[in-house]
Structure 1
Amino acid sequence: MADDGQSVEQSNDPGRKVVYCGVCTLPPEYCEYGGTTQKCQEWLEANHPEMYERIWSTESLEAATASLSVEAQERAQKDAKKKAAKAETALQRQADKLATSVVVIKRIERNKKKYVTAVSGLEAFGLDLKKLSKEFGKKFATGSSVTKMPSGGEEIVVQGDVSPEIEELLLDHYKEIPKKNIQFVDDKKRKKAAAEAAAAAAEV
């Protein structure tokens, strides 16, 4: 598929082009079976208005159901409502998940005056960690890799203390991540606080 969002591929017939939906990747005629009908319709209307009119205009929908019996039309309407409700529920769940997802940018002290920056939680926003790791490495001219976390999942570990720079890059280029969903953690401060708490407990 094309990378420009048009999702057009050549078919076996050299004189024909087949359009694939940029949302569900199905041919637009089958978007209703993909579970994201509303978003598919919006994408098709924006990118292929003529095809949108042919498939989803009121006249087209009426023509498609005109040959059906009254009972079949009622079933079709019920099915369409169920699919729309299911798609809306799925979108709402995804929105709720994103609203509570957090990207954690953690500065970790390896040894005196040497740090690495670990970034986790990016996968919740649909970002490609390997691609983003390469972008971090190139942007900050340093080592960057994707590693597995003991708690499960993966994180990007960047050499050096680049916490503010990573936040700025994410906010500038990845608008799907709200600023309020980014959290900073300083591993050095956490260790210091734990040490102070342990010392206070020992005195008691």
Structure 2
Amino acid sequence: MADNNNNEEAGAAAPQEPQARIVLYCGVCTLPPEYCEFGSSAKKCKEWLEENHPDLVASVYNTEAVEAAMSHLTVDALARAEKAEQAAEKKAIKETAKAERELAKKLSSKIVLKRVERAKRKHVIVVTGLEAFGLDLKKVAKDFGKKFACGSSVTKGAAAGQDEIVVQGDLSDDILEYIEEKYPEVPVDNIEQVEEKKKKKSEGP
């Protein structure tokens, strides 16, 4: 009987496993809602929270405390607060517009895989345009070299000094498939495969 009591006491004293904490992330800026007000998209973040988790708005933004504080402000203080809010909104609008312009520019950017014939029917693939999608060309060139076991390096291109990756080998299709698999941020529709025509030697008289 004593053993049973001891077992029951031991079981009662056994620590419980910690429960996993569920963390909510904002659907606009991807941060926890508690940090949204410090970002550039605070207004949109609040609208998202009001629409998706209205029960959390008061606790996150403490609207009652804000309203109570606003009720004690003077006319001048209210004007300054309103002016500051308007300035913050203008800043957020500018940053949103900038982000939209950058996205539009990125979506319109082209990546070119140019097949170039070298001596003795050997080919290289010249890759340009990846930097528009935030990719580190040196790292990508290293990835190409490892993937295809070939020479791959970053060089200064002839066109406006744009950097390009030169891959040794006739690997245009393989590189296209690898970019699609390895770098999902790059739209496949933005990739063009072209071939540089070898200049014919001028015939003598």
**Do these two structures clear the TM 0.5 threshold for a shared fold by scoring above it?**
yes
Instruction: Name the counterpart of 1:100.
Output: 108
Instruction: Name the counterpart of 1:130.
Output: 138
Instruction: Name the counterpart of 1:150.
Output: 158
Instruction: Name the counterpart of 2:10.
Output: none
The answer to whether the 8 A contact 1:101-1:121 is kept is yes
What root-mean-square deviation, in Å, do the aligned CA atoms of Structure 1 and Structure 2 show?
A: 3.2
Instruction: Name the counterpart of 2:41.
Output: 38
Deviation at 1:73, TM superposition (A): 1.8
Deviation at 1:64, TM superposition (A): 9.6
- Rounded to whole Å, the distance in 2 between the matches of 1:61 and 1:154 is 55
Instruction: Name the counterpart of 1:63.
Output: 66
The answer to whether the 8 A contact 2:117-2:198 is kept is no
- Aligned with residue 124 of structure 2, among 116, 119, 130: 116
Helix, strand or coil: the match of 2:118? strand
Report the TM-score when normalising by structure 2. 0.64
Rate the CA distance shift 1:64–1:115 in 2: closer, same or farther, 3 A: farther
Deviation at 1:61, TM superposition (A): 9.9
Deviation at 1:99, TM superposition (A): 1.6
Alignment of 1:185-200 (within 5 A): 185-187=194-196, 190-191=197-198
- Rounded to whole Å, the distance in 2 between the matches of 1:114 and 1:98 is 33
- Rounded to whole Å, the distance in 1 between the matches of 2:147 and 2:64 is 50
Instruction: Name the counterpart of 1:169.
Output: 178
Helix, strand or coil: the match of 2:198? helix
Q: How many residues align?
A: 153
Deviation at 1:80, TM superposition (A): 1.7
Rate the CA distance shift 1:141–1:64 in 2: closer, same or farther, 3 A: farther
The answer to whether the 8 A contact 1:144-1:156 is kept is yes
- Aligned with residue 72 of structure 1, among 56, 80, 89: 80
The gaps in structure 1 that reach 5 residues or longer are: 1-21, 46-52, 200-204
Deviation at 1:60, TM superposition (A): 6.5
Rate the CA distance shift 1:161–1:84 in 2: closer, same or farther, 3 A: same
- Rounded to whole Å, the distance in 2 between the matches of 1:65 and 1:146 is 60
Rate the CA distance shift 1:62–1:166 in 2: closer, same or farther, 3 A: farther
Instruction: Name the counterpart of 1:82.
Output: 90
Rate the CA distance shift 1:158–1:93 in 2: closer, same or farther, 3 A: same
- Rounded to whole Å, the distance in 2 between the matches of 1:141 and 1:173 is 16
Rate the CA distance shift 1:127–1:80 in 2: closer, same or farther, 3 A: same
Partner deviation per Cα, 1:146-185 (whole Å, 9 max, x = no partner): 0001121100001101111111111112111111100111
Report the TM-score when normalising by structure 1. 0.64
Write out the 4+ residue segments of structure 1 that deviate beyond 3 Å after TM superposition: 28-32, 60-68
Rate the CA distance shift 1:86–1:65 in 2: closer, same or farther, 3 A: farther
Identity %: 42
Rate the CA distance shift 1:90–1:103 in 2: closer, same or farther, 3 A: same
The gaps in structure 2 that reach 5 residues or longer are: 1-28, 49-55
- Aligned with residue 180 of structure 1, among 180, 183, 189: 189
